[in-house]
A = this chain, B = another copy of it.
Amino acid sequence: MATFVMQSLGCEVAAINTVHFSNHTGYRQFKGRRIPAAEIKELYDGLRQSHLTDFDVLLSGYSPSAEAVEAVGTVARDLRYRSAVHPGGFFWVLDPVMGDQGRLYVAEDIVPAYRALIREADLILPNQFEAELLSGVSISSLSGVANAIRTLHAVHGTSHVVVTSVRVGAATDANANPSTLTVVGSTKKQDGQARLFKIEVPVLDCYFSGTGDMFAALMVARLREACAQANLLDRPSWMPDDDVEATELPLAKATEKVLSSMQTILEKTWTARDEEMKKFGTSPGASIGGVEGEGEGDTVGEGQRRFLAETKAAEVRVVRNARDLMLPEGRYKAQAMEV
């Protein structure tokens, strides 16, 4: 997902895989191998020895162990060091993949490993749960999100933060709309103060896998584009001046485009999934009895077969809709957030 999206937007990508799996884990069963931390380091050494490390941007995503997270940190540190004479010549987008909706899906020692690293990243992209884990601030309202971001700016020093897929319950927040997701971002000022913006997008009633990687990869290309237009690529962390308003931040402009592309492609996927699932006779919203484990395909029951078919039908249709990556419709505008 991440490699194709960045390539579609013109980025030359050197991908170090952190897993080699038969399919994404949303199928609840897969075979294959997690890449050991030593192999990540070895591959980077290979790039170094042939002078292939002149990267403008590092995007790091899912890492299968705390050692792998640390290996990514070592890579990032070396890339930063090598670009030291060119401020802004290296930019690290870190997606701290740890869990979602209150559930950790990585080993527990990955959490402190990320906490130690995020001060070195230029942009971090936690979801709501990951923002809680990193900041220590619990989030049950938009002002909770704002406080988490302020903490990340102030305590960890992270220049740019986007908290993806914020869903705050109507029970705790009178302003919450259960049919929308909110994306909240900020680029700090010199003094560490936040400049908060938000974009609300309709929730699609469908589980898609890979949307975090899609968001991160689109962000790499769109943020660089926005910062190039604002002549910021020669500044450390591509920081805009303090007088740039929240909604005029390159980060806000980039997020608008990212979400426009994503929402268009996810809507098309959703429609196609429903079409595809008609052959199963009942509505795709019907409950699906997923079975954990690795049963042989031919002997599993109808519930499992349906679950697998539905998961396949919901694979994000990014290849056939690459145009929507390249030409976002401009559906969203960032709003300033005063909380």
Does chain B have a CB within 8 A of A101? Answer: no
**Which size class do A's interface residues fall under?**
35 or more
Q: CB distance B320 to A12 under 8 Å? A: yes
Does chain B have a CB within 8 A of A305? Answer: yes
Known: A11-B319, A39-B33, A42-B32. Is A50-B297 also a contact (CB below 8 A)?
yes
Chain B residue with Cβ nearest A44: B22
Does chain B have a CB within 8 A of A242? Answer: no
The segment from A23-31, A57-65, A106-114, A199-207 found at the interface with B is A23-31
Q: CB distance B32 to A46 under 8 Å? A: yes
Q: List residues 283-339 of chain A with CB under 8 A from any CB of chain B.
A: 294-297, 305, 308-309, 311-312, 315, 319-320, 322
Closest chain B CB from A211 CB (angstroms): 17
The complex places the Cα of A273 from the Cα of B333 at a distance, in Å, of 41
Does chain B have a CB within 8 A of A115? Answer: no
Type the 1/0 row for A1-45, where 1 means its CB is closer than 8 Å to any CB of B: 001100110111110010011110001011111010001001111
Does chain B have a CB within 8 A of A51? Answer: yes
Q: CB distance A20 to B20 under 8 Å? A: yes
Does chain B have a CB within 8 A of A48? Answer: yes
When distances are taken between beta carbons in the complex, the residues of chain B under 8 Å from A4 are 3-4, 7
Q: CB distance A50 to B12 under 8 Å? A: no
Closest chain B CB from A220 CB (angstroms): 14
Q: A31's contact among B8, B27, B42, B51, by CB below 8 Å, is which?
A: B42
When distances are taken between beta carbons in the complex, the residues of chain B under 8 Å from A10 are 319-320
Chain A contact surface mostly: mixed
The complex places the Cα of A22 from the Cα of B50 at a distance, in Å, of 9
Q: A22's contact among B21, B35, B45, by CB below 8 Å, is which?
A: B45
The complex places the Cα of A322 from the Cα of B326 at a distance, in Å, of 12
Q: CB distance B52 to A23 under 8 Å? A: yes
Q: CB distance B22 to A47 under 8 Å? A: yes
Q: CB distance A49 to B296 under 8 Å? A: yes
Chain B residue with Cβ nearest A35: B20
The complex places the Cα of A44 from the Cα of B320 at a distance, in Å, of 24
Known: A7-B319, A319-B11. Is A308-B50 also a contact (CB below 8 A)?
yes
The complex places the Cα of A41 from the Cα of B216 at a distance, in Å, of 32
The complex places the Cα of A135 from the Cα of B296 at a distance, in Å, of 40
- A43, A44, A50: residue with the most chain B Cβ atoms closer than 10 Å: A50
When distances are taken between beta carbons in the complex, the residues of chain B under 8 Å from A297 are 48-51
When distances are taken between beta carbons in the complex, the residues of chain B under 8 Å from A11 are 319
Closest 5 CB pairs of A and B: A22-B46, A31-B46, A22-B43, A49-B297, A27-B50
Subset of 28 A-B contacts with CB under 8 Å? A3-B4, A4-B7, A7-B322, A11-B319, A12-B315, A14-B23, A20-B20, A20-B39, A21-B43, A22-B42, A22-B46, A22-B47, A23-B47, A23-B50, A23-B52, A29-B49, A30-B46, A31-B43, A31-B45, A32-B42, A32-B46, A48-B297, A49-B296, A50-B297, A50-B312, A51-B297, A51-B305, A51-B309
